[in-house]
């Protein structure tokens, strides 16, 4: 696999950032699928969060083209992506889950979409299918709900062969192409992604911030990825998932939601706060206070780049569907 990224026009160059933690076999399949791309003109970066399963040795021995970034510890997905962004050189950045396998035409399709994207299109969503059941959809983007919750668009819907490119609220970072100029514009002091999010909702937060700054998102149905849904979560258990989703939903809402939306979310937030306290105890309360204070502080950073009224975003993009319970 030859690196041809340097020969591309700067506006169409793509860096791929993959964050990995103890998923050697899944990472191998992911990187092999990138070797099989019809368009090999991309920069490849693997951020390894201190794996102990031979993942780094795999990258060095089998995929020498990849630039390996060893963080030395598990920093989570969001901060892992930030570490990859710090060394990425191209105008577009594809975040790809380590348990995803790319269709051979994925890069071709994403580059076509990037080429025709309007100036303020900063996010492009791949069509994500379940790896175990590729006839069914994992995600075609993110749906936002009035209480600040979110879910995958078209989750578990049979694959539609007649899908067309269309505007969406924002992509899920498991397979999303981001314009680097947008990421730089909306970056928080610690990076484009909020590194305080260990995992989950970091893509909703980034997409919401981008929307408030006047950027938009598109769905590219021809860019296909097969994804092993929640493979990382299974290593940690459902309680871990529940804590991350609840805490990060509230901090995302505190950073990006209008006062009216914050008020509407109070009933759900009260219930979830009680659940979090019951699950995590006194130490968890300290962590929650720190997390929510950080979110309130970050709201000022969001406000500095905001171009669009918060209520206007909510009126346009809050889904009338019911959220899938988490």
Q: What domains are defined for the chain? A: 5-232 (3.90.550.60), 238-317 (no CATH)
For residue 37, pLDDT over 80 is answered with yes
Nearest 5 degrees, angle CA 12-CA 17-CA 22?
160
For residue 131, pLDDT over 50 is answered with yes
pLDDT in tens, 137-154: 999 999 999 999 999 999
pLDDT in tens, 276-295: 999 988 888 888 899 999 99
Q: What is the pLDDT of residue 239?
A: 83
- Higher-scoring residue by pLDDT: 318, 6: 318
Q: What is the mean pLDDT of residues 4-8?
A: 49
For residue 9, pLDDT over 60 is answered with no
What gap in Å lies between CA 154 and CA 169, rounded to an integer?
A: 13
Q: What is the pLDDT of residue 322?
A: 61
Nearest Cα to 24, choosing from 51, 62, 44? 51
Give how far Cα 7 sits from Cα of 3, 13, 40, 115, Å.
9, 9, 11, 16
Nearest Cα to 173, choosing from 115, 96, 259, 236? 96
pLDDT in tens, 209-255: 999 999 999 999 999 999 998 655 555 567 888 999 999 999 999 99
Q: Residue 113: which pLDDT band, with cuts at 50, 70 and 90?
A: very high
For residue 6, pLDDT over 50 is answered with no
What pTM was estimated for this model as a whole? 0.93
What gap in Å lies between CA 97 and CA 78, rounded to an integer?
A: 12
Half-sphere exposure of 8 (CA within 13 A, CB side): 21
Q: What is the pLDDT of residue 77?
A: 96
């Amino acid at each position: 696999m030859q690196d041809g990224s340097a020969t591309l026009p700067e506006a169409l160059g793509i860096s791929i950032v993959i964050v990995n933690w103890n998923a050697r076999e899944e990472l191998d399949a992911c990187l092999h699928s990138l070797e099989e791309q019809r368009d090999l003109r991309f920069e490849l970066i693997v951020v390894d969060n201190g794996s102990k399963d031979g993942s780094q040795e795999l990258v060095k021995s089998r995929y020498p083209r990849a630039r390996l970034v060893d963080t030395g510890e598990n920093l989570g997905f969001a901060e892992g992506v930030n570490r990859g962004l710090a060394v990425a050189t191209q105008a577009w950045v594809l975040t790809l889950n380590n348990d995803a396998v790319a269709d051979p035409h994925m890069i071709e399709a994403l580059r076509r979409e990037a080429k025709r994207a309007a100036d303020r299109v900063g996010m492009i969503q791949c069509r994500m299918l379940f790896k175990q059941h590729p006839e069914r959809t994992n995600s075609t983007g993110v749906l936002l709900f009035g209480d600040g919750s979110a879910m995958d668009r078209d989750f578990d819907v049979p694959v539609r062969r007649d899908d067309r490119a269309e505007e969406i609220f924002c992509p899920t970072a498991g397979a999303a192409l981001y314009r680097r100029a947008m990421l730089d514009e909306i970056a928080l002091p610690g990076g484009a992604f909020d590194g305080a999010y260990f995992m989950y909702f970091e893509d909703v937060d980034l997409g919401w911030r981008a929307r408030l700054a006047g950027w938009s998102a598109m769905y590219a149905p021809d860019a296909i990825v097969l994804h092993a849904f929640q493979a990382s979560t299974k290593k940690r258990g459902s309680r871990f998932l529940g804590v991350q989703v609840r805490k990060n939903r509230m901090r995302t809402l505190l950073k990006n939601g209008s006062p009216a939306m914050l008020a509407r979310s109070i009933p759900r937030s009260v219930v979830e706060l009680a659940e979090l306290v019951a699950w995590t105890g006194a130490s968890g309360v300290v962590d929650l206070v720190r997390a929510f204070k950080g979110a309130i502080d970050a709201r000022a950073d969001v406000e500095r780049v905001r171009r669009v009224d918060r209520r206007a975003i909510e009126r346009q993009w809050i889904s009338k569907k019911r959220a899938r319970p988490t």
